Structure 1
Amino acid sequence: MARTGSAGRPAGVDPELLWQRAERPRRGRPPAYDRAAITAEAVALADAEGLAAVTMRAVAARIGAGTMSLYSYVPNKETLLELMIDQVSGDHRLPSEPSGDWRADLRRFARDQRAIMLRHPWLPAALPARQTLGPNTLAAVEHTLAVLAPVGLDPQARLETFSLLTGFVASHVTYELAQQRAMEADGRTSGELLDAQARYLRSVAAADTYPHLAQALAAPNHDPAAQDVFDRLLDRMINGLTVAP
């Protein structure tokens, strides 16, 4: 038996219906809305208030439509989420061809992906619930596979590499956003929190119980700037992804 969602409508996403069939023209008056405009309002709502705020009722209110009329454009919330994910995936600035330096291209793609997720903080949490790949997401996948073509990985391994890279970026951005929320709740600046953490760890390391930690803390400090931290971790990630020299 098929699952049903709100208003007794079928839940889940039909990728063929969603991506391969254009919105059906209606007889009589032209439609008052379209999926792109509805999706843009849903994205704006999620950006401002979080993913939990995105309901069919709330999106309908933003566009000035009745909730039931929204279902004639988007059959359920799961489909709306797919449209949202793919719309923001279109923010990627994909070059027409890889540069030939696959590591540089992967870095550029991952940095772009991080910037998109920071602009849309709901995106990392939404990705695990994704059920299909829309045209913008497919363009990003195709670009990454082309970048990795000369590396020597088989096609399946290249797909797995794309998933690992995206997973790394989403995980890192999730951590960054959580740290930002913690600082806002604490009322201290990032520098103050880092100083407090450093004092605590130095006192723990001084007890000789954690010699390896003490050694790490004695090493020269790296620049704590968020972009620099991301770039260092990204380089380690990229260098460990493939068997290429």
Structure 2
Amino acid sequence: MSTADEVEVPRVLRLLWGLEKPSRRGPKPGLSLDAIADAAVRLADAEGLAAVSMSRVAGELGFSTMSLYRYVDSKDDLLLVMANAGYGRPELHHGPRAAWRTRLEEWARAMRAGLQAHPWLLEIPVSEPPLAPNPLAWMEAGLQALSATPLREQEKLSAMLLTDTFVRGQTQLALQVDAAARRSGSTPQEADARYARVLGQLVTPDTHPGLVGALSSGSLEDGGDDFADTEFAFGLKVVMDGIAGLVEARARRAGT
């Protein structure tokens, strides 16, 4: 890439990648980008993303708000730094000899576990593809899971993105439903039963035959403590089956 085509890497990314050291201005012993990230993560875990601000993080660390500007230039930078810490590095156990499906399923389940541990990650707006070290490590791990398949490079990216989108969407929905049930003082089973009773008064076989069929079968009030896990397993299987169909089609074409 020519010099004219180069794009300046934002300072916060240069710091995260170790390409630049913090400004030397001001006496700031004990303050570091890692410390800022850890404090922000603790706040978000305890009180939610809305509790995180430059002033709150600085206060947690015993520094002035201005001290943080040696490392982060804005609230957006702070969110990027704490998200990088929240995701962490992927810890996957299946190596390159494992089947692609085994590796990608493990990747998806590990991603889900991380989001469940730090639900606020789902609240951070996504304005561009990953650039911080840890999210990029997850992206690389997802692509490596598909590296031995005959998929084209764009198809590998799309398959990984499809899996990531499913994980995020299902995890966010499950967390929101669980939070709503807790706020109402109901168990998930009680919330499902109430939903079914109310829905039964609103739909008829003429207007919503599909919903009436689901109600009659008891499916809409059959949620238990493992409902989210069951739905995740079902959805992940369907996603993997779809990718497997594409992999098999590519393999057949390569063999002809």
User: Taking structure 2 as the reference length, what is the TM-score of the superposition?
Assistant: 0.79
**CA spacing shift, 1:129–1:44, aligned 2, 3 Å:** farther
What's the offset of the Cα at 1:67? 0.6
What's the offset of the Cα at 1:206? 6.1
**Corresponding residue for 2:105?**
107
What's the offset of the Cα at 1:58? 0.7
The match for 2:233 among 227, 231, 234 is 231
Gaps of 5+ in 1: 1-11
SS of residue paired to 2:119: coil
What's the offset of the Cα at 1:134? 1.8
Whole-Å separation in 2 of the counterparts to 1:28 and 1:179: 47
On the 8 A contact 1:117/1:173 being kept in 2, the answer is yes
Moved more, 91-100 or 151-160: 91-100
**AA partner of residue 40 (structure 1):** D
Whole-Å separation in 1 of the counterparts to 2:177 and 2:145: 32
What's the offset of the Cα at 1:214? 3.6
Whole-Å separation in 1 of the counterparts to 2:47 and 2:96: 37
**1:190-209 residue pairs with structure 2 within 5 A?**
190-201=188-199, 207-209=205-207
SS of residue paired to 2:113: helix
Gaps of 5+ in 2: 1-9, 249-256
**CA spacing shift, 1:100–1:223, aligned 2, 3 Å:** farther
What's the offset of the Cα at 1:191? 0.9
SS of residue paired to 2:146: helix
Whole-Å separation in 2 of the counterparts to 1:211 and 1:81: 46
Identity across aligned pairs (percent)?
A: 35
Whole-Å separation in 2 of the counterparts to 1:168 and 1:207: 31
The match for 1:75 among 69, 73, 76 is 73
Whole-Å separation in 2 of the counterparts to 1:141 and 1:149: 12
User: Taking structure 1 as the reference length, what is the TM-score of the superposition?
Assistant: 0.82
**AA partner of residue 68 (structure 1):** M
What's the offset of the Cα at 1:194? 1.1
**CA spacing shift, 1:77–1:26, aligned 2, 3 Å:** same
**Corresponding residue for 1:90?**
88
**Corresponding residue for 2:252?**
none
Aligned pairs, how many?
A: 234
Whole-Å separation in 1 of the counterparts to 2:27 and 2:41: 27
Whole-Å separation in 1 of the counterparts to 2:223 and 2:237: 15
Whose relative contact order is higher, 1 or 2, with alpha carbons under 8 Å and at least 6 apart?
A: 1
Q: Does 1:244 align with 2:242?
A: no
